[in-house]
Chains A and B, each alone.
Chain A
């Protein structure tokens, strides 16, 4: 636990040492703006809220966050630095959590840089800023969940591209689990509680509720436990694969 801040600082600093991080932020900002204005029709909609902005986040993150997460462990494994990391006096918990937190804070910084949207919507009308703040929190939790999944996938694969593809696929499953096409596969044989459980795994329904402006304890716990579970899985995978 003591070494966690050390890992966190080292990792966060490493983001800003490479141009890759800036490219990530640039792509995120440009895409979120383009989606909001062109696909979401924010300006034409004439409503002072950020629905058009947030509704694309689950899909935007689906490709961007795994890209951010893919290097977390795969790189260390490929370059062999993981062995060095394992010999250092840090626990696996410190390493996994520190790396994750650094990436999460980095994603948070990217999210905060969309602040012109808040200014814009406040300039144009009188939005419900309470709901906007909650939606930002929801979006950040969503990014964290994608990151936790991506972190585990990165630990699984030596190759960053494979880690990326695995993470996108896993995250996609979590998005669509509330969709009829998935639920259809369960109807007919599965009991209702299982169907509800599968539907309740969906990022979309959870994120929807939060972005309306209501923080439900269940939604909050869902995101937190999801992150914790995937990070625990990361630690196990790192341990299992350290010999590879």
Chain B
């Protein structure tokens, strides 16, 4: 035997044993893994376990994955393995309530028809036209079905949320009830000017397909128990009884999506006094205070970076409006399920939300301004003639302001002693779930969708993701607490805080210098213009030698200031680059240098000892 081992045959035996062992271990040892990431990103979370524990009727999950067609796509194969393992973990944790079927839908097979009939999307695998299915369908005892048409490869962080949401909607198949309380005619109404009924907002039509919408009157003193999410739009001068009802609803676990606005353009109510902007404002002040946030009172957010160009009527060029913002992906929180993956959201004269100091709740910004933003007086917008003046007056503070935020965590009642006639309500809750948005206009059609009348059918053509955001938020809130907790596990973005601080500091310094230089530049230009205006337009331009000299001097000054400005901008990042340089040195050269010195010292020491 020993002789056989120590021969070429022995080598072959080792190779075969190694291969066989690893093929077998790949097949048999599933999910024996140690997750050492900080937030256990690769382990089923408590929230999911709770959802699985609450399943009453068995659920069938069909995992469609074109294994054979994807044989050359290593990245997809890896992710598919991960998805399958996760689904198997669900099956195990559900203790018989989930049955998983893994299906490889071969081309022209019954399985492929089944995948297609579920509504799964196939993507082409290669030029030969092979299709790959990589999605999930689920059914319950009542033949409800839910699908994930295709697992997006770039959304691994939401994988568990997606699957848990699917499982939950099968476990509790009735449509979630959304209670709508609105100060705007969001559900359609009557236009006084044209004496015509108006159509419901497109957002509501979309929401109606996914949720059961119940309209609630402003003024009610109790939110019905059947409501799982309250959609509150433009709350204005609400009676205390209604505020208390909302307070109690949120404390007893009801979810709230609230849109407030310092200046709602969709509010067509006539102002009491001309130019009275405050009349278009809404707020939920006492409740916000109890939840640890506030809407900056009487302030509208102005942003130089995200300002949209707005039309000023025919034959006029569009101008940029610092109060109308087109928010790009950078402004949308990419780690939250309600905003991740969205491309753009438009808001009009939105407000600013901020956490209160010492609040116990968590304040997670969902929509944020750029650094080139500042608060404006809301009253200005009531009689704003030319939006360009906003941009001119904009003095960025360097802060990124929150336009929407998710509020969660422990909260107290805003009315700890109850109200007249209702004394013994809830005083506090361990966890509330609120999403607050400081703009009501983002729901209105003109901010995000063109509606075309197509033979009597209203066809929406969205140009922004406003409705996507609002529906995602409703969808997320209408899930259970357990499901919402699945969302909040991952922290995939870990920015260089030190560098960001340096950046903020440098920008603040730059702005001070820039302002100064801009002022001087403005003065110089004004003087130059004044000199030229003194000329009689009927006469050809004639300057006295002194005037000419002054003009030359001003022009030179202008060039110098511009150059200085450029230099200041150039220096903006010098500190950051400096830090980068130091870090590069430390990581590339420092240890090798110390090591070399150490070796040299050792060598010298040894030589001396020998000598």
Contacts and interface: CB of A to CB of B under 8 A. Distances in A.
B494 interface: yes
Nearest to A198: B19
B21 interface: yes
B37 A212 contact: yes
Contacts of B588: 29-30, 33-34, 37
Nearest to A216: B33
Given A193-B23, A221-B22, A47 B496 contact: yes
A47 B37 contact: no
Contacts of A179: 74
A78 B17 CA distance: 32
Interface stretch (B64-72, B331-339, B388-396, B472-480): B64-72
Interface stretch (A67-75, A95-103, A159-167, A228-236): A228-236
Nearest to A124: B496
Nearest to B42: A214
A213 B26 contact: no
B32 A216 contact: yes
A218 B583 CA distance: 37
B78 A192 contact: no
Interface string B6-39: 1110110011011101110110010011111111
Contacts of A133: 36
B71 A218 contact: no
B42 A213 contact: yes
Interface in B481-498: 493-498
B123 interface: no
Given A197-B23, A214-B42, A128 B37 contact: yes
Interface residues of A, number: 66
B599 interface: yes
B22 A225 contact: yes
A229 B18 contact: yes
B21 A48 contact: no
B596 interface: yes
B67 to A, nearest CB: 7
A183 B72 contact: yes
Interface in B569-611: 580, 583-584, 586-592, 595-596, 599
Interface stretch (A5-13, A83-91, A199-207): A199-207
B531 interface: no
Nearest to B503: A46
B5 interface: yes
A192 B65 CA distance: 14
Contacts of A218: 22, 25-26, 29, 32
B34 A36 contact: no
B41 interface: yes
Contact of B494 (A25, A48, A130, A222): A48
Contact of A26 (B6, B19, B587, B592): B592
Contacts of B49: none
A201 B22 contact: yes
B42 A46 contact: no
Contacts of B73: 180
A55 interface: no
Contact of A130 (B29, B38, B580, B590): B38
A187 interface: yes
A59 interface: no
B77 interface: yes
B37 A120 contact: no
Given A217-B33, A226-B18, A236 B6 contact: yes
A213 B17 CA distance: 29
B12 to A, nearest CB: 10
A213 B41 contact: yes
Contacts of B589: 30, 33
A125 B497 CA distance: 5
Contact of B7 (A201, A214, A236): A236
Contact of B14 (A34, A47, A229): A229
A213 B37 contact: yes
A191 B167 CA distance: 35
A196 B23 CA distance: 8
B119 to A, nearest CB: 28
Interface of A: 19, 22, 25-26, 29-30, 33-34, 36-37, 43, 46-49, 113-114, 116-117, 120, 123-131, 133-134, 178-180, 183-184, 187, 192-193, 195-197, 199-202, 205, 208, 212-218, 221-222, 225-226, 229, 232-233, 236-237, 239-240
Given A26-B596, A29-B588, A113-B595, 14 more contacts: A22-B595, A30-B588, A33-B587, A37-B583, A37-B588, A116-B587, A125-B498, A131-B37, A183-B74, A192-B67, A197-B19, A214-B34, A217-B32, A225-B21
29 contacts: A25-B592, A26-B595, A30-B588, A33-B584, A43-B584, A46-B499, A47-B494, A114-B587, A123-B498, A124-B499, A125-B494, A125-B495, A131-B37, A180-B74, A192-B68, A197-B23, A213-B41, A214-B34, A215-B36, A217-B29, A217-B33, A221-B25, A229-B14, A229-B18, A233-B14, A233-B15, A236-B5, A236-B6, A239-B6
